[in-house]
Chain A
Amino acid sequence: DGGITQSPKYLFRKEGQNVTLSCEQNLNHDAMYWYRQDPGQGLRLIYYSQIVNDFQKGDIAEGYSVSREKKESFPLTVTSAQKNPTAFYLCASSTGQEEGYGYTFGSGTRLTVV
């Protein structure tokens, strides 16, 4: 079945550490996204990538970094510069304009700072 796989499901980070969240898709979508969700809050866009080797900052990119070396993969690194990283992180991919921007989401990674 086609879909998006996020790992790990739960992640614990010590103060000052960088951690990387994995996102893999087998939908052959060009565009991929990272969102952050805080309790009781809506989704906020961190980074997005429309094509391999290219990505753009979203609304809350500070303290995060991404890479897009392969079409299937869009890992997110939460750096020590992110002062409040505890949140639920969602990865998504979408079809393009011609196909109507249909989005598919992964099951999320819950990051906790300890």
Chain B
Amino acid sequence: KQEVTQIPAALSVPEGENLVLNCSFTDSAIYNLQWFRQDPGKGLTSLLLIQSSQREQTSGRLNASLDKSSGRSTLYIAASQPGDSATYLCAVPRSNYQLIWGAGTKLIIKP
């Protein structure tokens, strides 16, 4: 049974720092891994999707890596800004389209 874990549950850092969010999964047979962002009271925004054949994806200041053999993905945020404050979620799909979710990391960037 696939399980997805995110560490840490919460993170508070000063503005300008580079930071890493972690996501681990127990079954390496995944189609992809997707990172989302959720602002309080809002829907989810897709940040990056890494296919199983890829090692990383980049979008602006965000870089996500995938290591299937170790069951890990990291989301790297460069030069953090207060606007990056949100909850970050990772998820992997089951074979029948459903997503298995991590519990999320609540990120606070202090001005």
- Is the CB of A110 closer than 8 A to any CB of chain B? yes
Measured CB to CB, the closest approach of chain A to B75, in angstroms, equals 16
| A103/B45 contact (C-beta < 8 A), A42-B104, A97-B31 known | no
* Cross-chain contact B49 with A100 (CB below 8 angstroms): yes
- Quick check: A107 and B51 within 8 Å, CB to CB? no
Interface pair A50/B97, CB less than 8 Å apart: yes
Known interface pairs A42-B103, A42-B104; A101-B97 also in contact (CB < 8 Å): yes
B19: interface (CB < 8 Å): no
Asked if B36 is an interface residue, CB under 8 A from chain A, the answer is: yes
Tell me, in angstroms, the Cα distance from A100 to B46 when the chains sit together: 14
Q: Are A45's CB and B36's CB within 8 A?
A: no
Chain B residues whose CB sits within 8 angstroms of the CB of A105 once the complex forms: 36, 43-46
List of B residues within 8 angstroms of A42 by Cβ:
101, 103-104
Q: Does A60 contact B (CB under 8 A)?
A: no
Cβ-defined contact, B46 with A102, below 8 A: yes
* Measured CA separation A110–B40 after assembly (Å): 12
Which residues of the other chain, A, contact B32 by a CB distance below 8 angstroms?
A: 100-102
Inter-chain CA distance A96–B31, complex, in Å, is: 11
Chain A hits for B31, CB < 8 A: 97, 100-101
The 9 closest A-B pairs by CB, nearest first: A105-B44, A107-B43, A101-B93, A108-B43, A105-B43, A100-B32, A31-B97, A100-B51, A102-B49
A50-B97, A103-B36, A105-B44 given; 11 more Cβ-contact pairs under 8 Å = A31-B97, A92-B44, A100-B49, A101-B99, A103-B46, A105-B43, A105-B45, A105-B46, A106-B43, A108-B41, A108-B42
| 16 CB < 8 A contacts A-B | A31-B97, A42-B103, A45-B99, A48-B97, A48-B98, A92-B44, A100-B49, A100-B51, A101-B32, A101-B93, A101-B99, A102-B32, A102-B49, A105-B46, A108-B41, A110-B41
